[in-house]
């Protein structure tokens, strides 16, 4: 065995999930060793796609994602997806060949590159320490929730390796919450008249514990966008807090006298630049990382620890009380709790469909057991707000870096993590064409995916940002592109939707046999920008 093979075998033995990559000479042996160790490998067509697939896979499977790339350009191509993963604290391991000779065409400072985007750089430097390095990379990825670049210098990869490459997965430590902090939060919950819980990424594993505590404290339930669906089915679920919040959710969150953020930073998106949190409300954050307590909307009290463990400890200390809950409020949540309950004027016409009508139509047609991935752009709120998801495992939102073009690869990674669900990719025309290299991957893998393109023939976000000020828009508008024909050329089924009646084509595909992916090329109305975009531009 050589060192490259030992890396793959050792990583497989740690229990990583699927691996995604583009294979070149510098990652050929390590990738084959992963496969030999039982890891599923998915060949992407662009390393940017591979990184995003691995990120989405890790988020939706709860396992460590692996990316495998060639030295130099393989890594630079992956960078945008890796930045998204690093910012989202996704446990990811990137295996990269490394040309250490400066004369090599492939040479760059790979460690500096990783560090610059928030990843952790490590290197395998000899046959003797290869197993311990792999184990350490795995530990850092899981325990510290980091994206780790494990550089594999070409000369070291080729060195002979003696001895077993199987490592025991390292033990992962878990923090114990402080008794005093938990006691103080119990006191606040026992005194609050109108408590609201906002759960974020760090709470996605803790539905049961949070619901039980909320039942005792009389709290209403909301999530950040990345945790959408976590409380689906609860009569007290307000859905997403922030730019995508319904008018009812915004009203009730603003009315809270205690906001408890569970694994949630309360950033400008989740709080509409802080305006959803009343100045008089007490704010508590429960988070593994105490650095979160003072960032964004600062906490009056910070409780360090795992969300589920803290909620469980609190449940033993909080006496049942009605809190914010009443039969009248339950009736309002039932009647006004979803975006589709909010009346609007359908602007469909002239061969274009209102994106709200499109999204509601798809929500009605597509099976509930779905996993929805969203790209970035003006369109993004429509699927986020009008297409429902069954639970927190039904929504994959790769928006920490706000890059367009990640949506399709996100849907692929999510689909690999949850083969039991219908994957739905919601894209703008700009993001769709930027990430289109992976359309062949969708077809090749036989994923029964629905890809919806909200086509306004423009970088709509820019059009609506600058258009009202009279700026020229020729750099951000495009002639019509026949996306349905492009999709058919790749082997997809496709329907072009220019009005509500055309959704019948989607219904036909849903009826079966679903033997190829479906691209829904929706020509959407675009007279005005979306209301969440107004909010977004405040952050620029």
Ligand X SMILES: Cc1ncc(C[n+]2csc(CCOP(=O)(O)OP(=O)(O)O)c2C)c(N)n1
CB of 407 to ligand X, least distance (A): 8
Query: Smaller CB distance to ligand X: residue 51 or 284?
Result: 51
Residue 161 binding target from ligand X, Mg ion, none, CB below 5 to 8 Å by type: none
Strand 195-199: give its sheet, edge to edge: 237-240, 220-223, 195-199, 258-262, 282-287, 301-304
- Cβ-based burial of 347 (10 A; exposed 0-12, middle 13-18, buried ≥19): middle
- The least distance separating Mg ion from the CB of residue 540, rounded to whole angstroms, comes to 18
- Choose between 37 and 118: whose C-beta lies nearer to ligand X: 118
Q: Give min distance, CB of 109 to ligand X, in A.
A: 23
Closer to ligand X by CB, 18 or 426: give it: 426
Q: Closer to ligand X at the Cβ: 30 or 79?
A: 79
List of residues contacting ligand X (CB under 6 A)? 376-379, 402-405, 428-431, 454, 456, 458-462
Q: Which of 237, 363, 429, 535 binds Mg ion (CB under 5 A)?
A: 429
Number of helices followed by number of strands (H, E) in the chain: 22, 18
Closest residue to ligand X: CB criterion = 428
Chosen residue from 8, 65, 81, 428 binding Mg ion by CB under 5 A: 428
Closer residue to ligand X in complex, CB, 84/306: 84
Stretch of residues binding Mg ion (CB under 5 A), selected from 82-90, 318-326, 428-436, 505-513: 428-436
Closest CB to ligand X among residues 118, 431:
431
Q: Enter the tokens of residue 533.
A: 């975009």
49 binds Mg ion (CB under 5 A): no
Q: How far is the CB of 473 from ligand X (least distance, A)?
A: 12
* SS3 per residue for 185-213: HHHHHHHCCCEEEEECHHHCCCHHHHHHH
**Binds 492: which of ligand X, Mg ion, none (CB < 5-8 Å by kind):** none
Least distance to ligand X, CB of residue 298, Å: 28
Answer with the entry of Mg ion, ligand X, none that 404 interacts with (C-beta below 5 to 8 A by kind): ligand X
> What DSSP string runs through 380-411?
GHHHHHHS--SSGGGEEE--SS--SS-HHHHH
Degrees to nearest 5, angle at CA 16 with 65 and 207: 70
> Tokens 């592109």 sit at which residue?
481
User: What is the nearest approach in angstroms of ligand X to the Cβ of residue 532?
Assistant: 11
Q: Is 149 helix (H, G, I), strand (E, B) or coil?
A: strand
d(CA 508, CA 505): 5
Sites for Mg ion among residues 442-481 (CB under 5 A): 456, 458, 460
Within 8 A by CB and 6+ apart from 522, the residues are: 353, 355, 358, 452, 453, 454, 455, 496, 497
5 binds, among Mg ion, ligand X, none (CB under 5 to 8 A by kind): none
| Nearest distance from C-beta of residue 487 to ligand X, angstroms | 16
Q: Give long-range contacts, CB 8 A cutoff, 24+ apart: 508-515.
A: 509/450, 510/365, 510/366, 510/367, 514/448, 515/448
CA distances to 6, 26, 153, 315, 462 from 126, rounded to whole Å, are 11, 16, 9, 50, 50
Rounded Cα–Cα distance for residues 229 and 212 (Å): 17
Q: Which is nearer to Mg ion, 363 or 429 (CB)?
A: 429
Least separation in angstroms between residue 362's CB and ligand X is 16
Q: Which CB atom, from 209 or from 456, has the smaller least distance to ligand X?
A: 456
Q: Interface residues with Mg ion (CB under 5 A)?
A: 428-430, 456, 458, 460
């Amino acid at each position: 065995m050589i060192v490259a093979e030992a890396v793959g075998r050792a990583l497989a033995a740690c229990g990583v999930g699927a691996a995604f990559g583009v294979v070149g000479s510098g990652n050929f042996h390590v990738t084959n060793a992963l496969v030999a160790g039982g890891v599923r490998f998915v060949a992407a067509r662009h390393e940017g796609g591979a990184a995003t697939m691995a990120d989405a896979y890790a988020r939706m499977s709860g396992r460590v994602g692996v990316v495998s790339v060639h030295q130099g350009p393989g890594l630079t191509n992956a960078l945008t997806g890796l930045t998204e993963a690093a910012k989202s604290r996704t446990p990811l391991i990137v295996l990269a060949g490394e040309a250490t000779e400066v004369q090599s065409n492939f040479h760059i400072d790979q460690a500096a590159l990783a560090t610059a985007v928030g990843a952790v750089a490590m290197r395998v430097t000899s046959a003797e320490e290869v197993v311990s390095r792999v184990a350490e990379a795995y530990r850092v990825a899981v325990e510290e929730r980091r994206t780790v670049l494990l550089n594999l210098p070409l000369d070291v990869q080729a060195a002979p390796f003696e001895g077993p490459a199987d490592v025991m997965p390292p033990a992962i430590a878990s923090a114990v919450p402080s008794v005093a902090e938990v006691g103080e939060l119990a006191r606040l919950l026992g005194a609050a008249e109108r408590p609201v819980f906002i759960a974020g990424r760090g709470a996605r594993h803790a539905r049961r514990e949070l619901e039980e505590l909320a039942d005792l404290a009389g709290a209403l339930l909301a999530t950040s966008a990345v945790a959408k669906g976590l409380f689906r089915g609860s009569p007290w679920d307000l859905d997403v807090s922030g730019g995508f919040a319904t008018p009812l959710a915004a009203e009730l969150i603003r009315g809270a006298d205690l906001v408890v953020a569970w694994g949630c930073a309360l950033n400008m998106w989740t709080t509409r630049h802080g305006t959803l949190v009343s100045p008089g409300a007490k704010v508590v954050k429960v988070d593994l990382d105490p650095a979160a307590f003072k960032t964004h909307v600062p906490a009056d009290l910070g409780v360090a620890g795992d969300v589920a463990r803290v909620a469980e400890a609190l449940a033993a200390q909080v006496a049942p009380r009605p809190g914010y809950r009443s039969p009248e409020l339950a009736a309002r949540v039932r009647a006004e709790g979803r975006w589709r309950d909010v009346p609007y004027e359908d602007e469909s016409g002239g061969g274009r469909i209102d994106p709200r009508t499109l999204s509601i139509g798809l929500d009605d047609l597509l099976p509930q057991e779905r996993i929805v991935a969203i790209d970035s752009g003006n369109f993004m709120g429509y699927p986020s707000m009008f297409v429902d998801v069954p639970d927190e495992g039904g929504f994959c939102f790769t928006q920490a870096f706000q890059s367009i073009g990640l949506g399709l690869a996100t849907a692929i990674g999510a689909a690999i993590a949850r083969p039991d669900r219908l994957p739905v990719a919601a894209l703008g025309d700009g993001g769709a064409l930027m990430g289109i290299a992976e359309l062949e991957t969708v077809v090749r893998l036989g994923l029964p995916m629905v890809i919806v393109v909200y086509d306004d023939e423009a970088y709509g976000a820019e059009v609506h940002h600058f258009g009202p000020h009279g700026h020229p828009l020729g750099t951000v508008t495009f002639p019509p592109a026949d996306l349905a024909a492009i999709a058919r050329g790749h082997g997809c089924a496709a329907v072009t939707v220019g009005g509500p009646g055309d959704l019948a084509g989607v219904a036909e595909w849903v009826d079966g046999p679903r033997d190829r992916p479906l691209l829904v090329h929706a020509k959407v109305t675009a007279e005005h920008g979306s209301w969440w975009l107004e909010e977004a531009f405040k952050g620029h």
